Amino acid sequence: MAAAQIVWFRNDLRLAAQAAVRAAAAAGPVVAVYVLDDATPGEWRIGAAQRWWLHHSVAALAADLRAMGGALVLRRGVPGDVLPEIAAATGATAVHALRAVEPWAKAQEAAVAERLDLRLHDGAYLAPQGAVTAGGGKRYRIFTPFWNALLKQMPPPPPAPAPMIRFAAPPPSETLADWHLLPTKPDWAGGFNVWTPGEAGAHAALDAFAANVRAYDHGRNLPAEALTSRLSPHLHMGEISPAQVWHALHSAAGDHALPFLREIGWRDFAAGLVDQFPDVATVPGRSAFARFPHRDAPYDLAAWQRGRTGYPIVDAGMRQLWATGWMHNRVRMIAASFLVKHLLIDWRCGERWFWDTLVDADLGNNSLGWQWIMGSGVDSSPFTRIFAPVGQSEKFDAAGRYIREWVPELAKLPDAAIHAPWQVDAATLAAAGVRLGDTYPKPIVDHAAARARALAAYASLRT
């Protein structure tokens, strides 16, 4: 009789198109394990919003396994210690997992491989790390050539359905409730009910988006419309694979799906940066940025975090993030630009806030996004790009619907007035019940002055 096989679940919480599950099931009876490790990642331990998601996603996977006659074994600790214990208790001879890119994930893998037969499989990304290269085997640092080269390797292998699994007798498990992943006092997750974590929820989101994917190229910039996929947390947790997304959308819309699939390409690209530059989350790609004159401004940072900057589009985005664990990507760019340009606050402060508040927090995507906005990445543009928050608001939320949803105290302002209430005459403000500095903040910085200050800060890097 074949020896038991451990499936070490990480950010790959699915049963279909999951190479570790498939390989383990083919080799012997399966012991399915999830290890909650807050020690190895250090400051990059899973953030508060994502812990909520993790709770529900692990619960969904456990339920799916139970329905197949199995179980999910839950343990807190360091995988390099926990998995050998489970192997000893079950007689398992091998551990199967999907290969990950984060530095702490690699450290976990190394520690497990030191003591057990660790079999790493691909499938968390469209292409394995290092498979997309220029002539000479050089890996890309700039997205567009990376994407063109990746496209030549597409489509990805067709996803396989969940295999038949024979389960080994599971060792004792901790209970999910003991992990205290959900917020209690206060319970701030009321607005998170827009999400359905888990493999089934991921496929429901994919199916819904497939019907709309042709509208994505245009609609993705309109935060008031539901025309983005909202797949990011599902992809991050691995409830669905990028290959599954590729095949579903390409069969639904053919090449009309490419503008969206390009974003999945960005995810691969970001993972490639983490794989090549493990400190991309904290170290600017351009060394001159080490001496950028950031402001230490805790009051301004708090105003940004709580959606009280006085710029309605920024505040709407930050409040959507706080309430739902997610922010529309167009608004992420506007809000992030505001923090690092208008407030001159260190991009890593914003990055850490997003890490704690986003359900889709992902080391590669988050680091790449913040370095892109800062202009500190190795691929950054040669000029200083300062988003004009009012201009962006008028362009992408012209009717103010997004602002009205998340900044209700401005809801009664006319469309033309809602983007910059400090420029509105007193009678209009009074008619809408708005008292600046009372019911809604005055802008914490003047745009023109803040823009000039930011340009000077960037210019100082060139001396």
Nearer to DNA, 38 or 263 (CB): 263
CA distance linking residue 217 with residue 210, whole number of Å: 13
Q: Minimum distance from CB of 447 to DNA (Å)?
A: 7
Q: Please report whether residue 313 would count as binding DNA according to CB under 7 A.
A: no
What is d(CA 372, CA 391) in angstroms, rounded to the nearest whole number? 20
d(CA 395, CA 344) in angstroms, rounded, equals 24
395 binds DNA (CB under 7 A): yes
- What's the DSSP call for residue 342? I
Nearer to DNA, 166 or 451 (CB): 451
Which one of residues 116, 248, 333, 418 is an interface residue with DNA (CB under 7 A)?
A: 333
Q: What three-state secondary structure class fits 40? A: coil
Tokens representing residue 281 in the block: 């989350």
As measured in angstroms, the least distance from the Cβ of 265 to DNA is: 9
Q: Is 387 in the site for DNA (CB under 7 A)?
A: yes
Q: Which is nearer to DNA, 192 or 326 (CB)?
A: 326
Among 196, 276, 329, 428, interactor with DNA by CB under 7 A: 329
**Residue carrying structure tokens 């910039």:** 221
- State the nearest-atom distance from the C-beta of 369 to DNA, in Å: 8
Q: Which is nearer to DNA, 147 or 322 (by Cβ)? A: 147
Q: Which stretch binds DNA (CB under 7 A): 76-84, 290-298, 342-350, 385-393?
A: 385-393
For strands 72-76 and 94-98, give the pairing. Answer: unpaired
Least Å distance between CB 127 and DNA? 18
Dist CA 404 CA 435 (whole Å): 16
Among 266, 297, 428, 441, binds DNA (CB under 7 A): 266
Structural contact between residues 146 and 7, judged by C-beta atoms closer than 8 angstroms: no
Stretch that binds DNA, among 44-52, 93-101, 295-303, 327-335 (CB under 7 A): 327-335
Cα separation, 305 vs 129, whole angstroms: 35
Q: Which residues between 413 and 452 bind DNA (CB under 7 A)?
A: 447, 451
The verdict on 150 binding DNA (CB under 7 A) reads: no
* Residue 300 exposure: Cα atoms within 13 Å on the Cβ side: 21
Of the two residues 173 and 384, which places its CB atom closer to DNA in the complex? Answer: 384
Q: Residue 2, class by beta-carbon neighbours within 10 Å (0-12 exposed, 13-18 middle, 19+ buried)? A: exposed
Phi, then psi, of 176 in degrees rounded to 5: -60, -40
Sheet holding 118-121, edge to edge: 72-76, 30-36, 5-9, 94-98, 118-121
How far, in Å, CA of 15 to CA of 21, rounded?
7
| Residue 219 binds to DNA (criterion: CB under 7 A) | no
Site for DNA in 90-129 (CB under 7 A): none
Among the candidate windows 45-53, 113-121, 179-187, 389-397, which touches DNA by CB under 7 A? Answer: 389-397
- Establish if 384 lies at the interface with DNA (CB under 7 A): yes
Q: Rounded to the nearest whole angstrom, what is the least distance from the CB of residue 172 to DNA in the complex?
A: 45
CB 361 within 8 A of CB 47: yes
- 234 token code pair: 């599902």
Residue among 203, 204, 188 at smallest CA distance from 359: 188
Under the binding rule (CB under 7 A), the answer on residue 453 touching DNA is no
Judged by beta carbon, residue 46 or residue 445, the one nearer DNA is: 445
Give the whole-angstrom CA distance, residue 52 versus residue 37. Answer: 16
Any contact of residue 218 with DNA (CB under 7 A)? no
Q: What string marks each residue from 130 to 149 as x (binds DNA by CB under 7 A) or -?
A: -------------x------
Considering the rule CB under 7 A, would residue 385 count as an interface residue with DNA? yes
Residues that bind DNA (CB under 7 A): 143, 263, 266, 329-330, 333, 383-388, 391-392, 395, 447, 451, 455
